[in-house]
Amino acid sequence: MPKYKIAWMPGDGVGNDVMEAARIVLDAMKFDAEYVPADIGWKFWCEEGDPLPQRTIDLLKETHCALFGAITSKPRDEANDELAPELKNKGLVYFSPIVKLRQMFNLHTNLRPCRAYPGNPLNYRDDVDLVVFRENTEGMYGGVEWFPLPEKIYEAMCDNPKMVKWKDKGLENVALSTRIMSKQGCESIVRQAFEFAKTHGRKSVTLVEKPNVLRETGGLITRVAREVAKDYPSIPLWEANIDAICMWMIKNPQDYDVLVAENMFGDIISDLCAGLVGGLGFASAANIGDEYAVFEPTHGSAPKYDGMYKVNPMAMLLTVKLMFDWLGEDDLAKRLDDAVAHVIREKKVGTYDVGLSNTTLEVAEEIARHASTPAGVGA
């Protein structure tokens, strides 16, 4: 029996291309796993009205973790237009399957490393080494929304006098998205950021928020972060507003280390950080819960490149490295990371974005060649 059972979820578009690249490397490294295909994505929304079918949820519960490629998501009206005719006008509402997975399996932590590998021509600076901890189940992406705004929701919210004016606009014209955060969720993500900094010898933790405007939610996570920081006296807690840090990360990214934020702000800064180290073609992510994890590159499905094997697989392969880390396969993680670093540094094999002309799979094959032996690069 294989040591691990991995849910295999290519998803949409180039998710299929990069997952094929991942399989080349996994097989070359002789990773002891069974890969179980799982249905997820836009096709299943269009054909079944559910981008995350119950059979997939059931399957995931029988695996150690999941590898995920990419997902296509579209606004409500476009999503409804693409439903199969027999599914239209049945009250079906599209909801991002990856967001649903995060909430259903309580994958509370989104971990996004952003490291500048030497030799990458797309590096903003060569000394950038950032890690983003993004709370993954609450905040602006909690999915508690309405349009139009129901009368009973409006009336309940009129406990705050600032809400009253919206009635004049007509509730049929008002959309509402909430930002709901709990003390428990805030403490969990902040403590994990500090624990990571402590374990890996990081120099600081920066809370990214906007408490001067978002006084209640931003104020909550700020107060919690200050309390948690008392347990880590050797690691300074810095605080930065989301707008200001977008400037400071361009001016002095080398000054920062571990960043922690609620869901939407974490999404924003992690893409900014990815831009500093080569773009989304180098951006990996782990969605981690207490008992389960889903690993994904942070790029989208890029439908126009589907099947062209054009996109950079590095993000997907670095995502595999995160999976190895989580499973405790430290040797495999190091071998893969060394192979990625070696291929980037050599500048002989790469995709179009780094100025070379190799395909997705050719890059994967080159990395597999270096990662395939226990001795690693140079063996």
DSSP 235: S
What counts of helices (H) and strands (E) characterise the chain? 13, 12
pLDDT tens per residue across span 74-83: 888 899 999 9
What is residue 377's predicted lDDT score, i.e. its pLDDT?
Answer: 66
Say if residue 252's pLDDT is above 80: yes
pLDDT tens per residue across span 110-167: 999 999 999 999 999 999 999 999 999 999 998 899 999 999 999 999 999 999 999 9
Say if residue 379's pLDDT is above 60: no
Say if residue 341's pLDDT is above 70: yes
- Rounded to two decimals, what is the model's pTM? 0.94
Instruction: Say how many CA atoms lie within 13 Å of 302 toward its Cβ.
Output: 20
What is residue 375's predicted lDDT score, i.e. its pLDDT?
Answer: 66
Report the mean per-residue pLDDT for the chain.
96
Pairing of β 258-261 and β 129-135 = parallel
Domains of the chain, earliest start first: 1-108+283-379 (3.40.718.10), 124-142+179-276 (3.40.50), 144-177 (no CATH)
* Contact assessment for residue 37 and residue 80, using Cβ atoms and an 8 Å cutoff: no
Taking residues 57-69, what's their average pLDDT? 98
Q: pLDDT band at 239, cuts 50/70/90?
A: very high
Taking residues 182-187, what's their average pLDDT? 98
pLDDT tens per residue across span 297-338: 999 999 999 999 999 999 999 999 999 999 999 999 999 999
What is residue 373's predicted lDDT score, i.e. its pLDDT?
Answer: 81
Taking residues 174-182, what's their average pLDDT? 97
What is residue 80's predicted lDDT score, i.e. its pLDDT?
Answer: 93
Annotate 80-148 with DSSP letters as a single string.
HHTS-GGGTTS------HHHHHHHHTT--EEEEEEE--TT-TTBS-TT-EEEEEEE-SSBTTS--EESS
What is residue 47's predicted lDDT score, i.e. its pLDDT?
Answer: 96
- Provide the percentage of residues in the chain whose pLDDT is more than 90: 94
Q: Residue 112: name the closest of 271, 2, 222, 289 by CA.
A: 271
> For residues 21 and 17, what is the distance between their CA atoms, to the nearest angstrom?
6
What is residue 75's predicted lDDT score, i.e. its pLDDT?
Answer: 87
Burial class (CB in 10 A: 0-12, 13-18, 19+), 305: middle
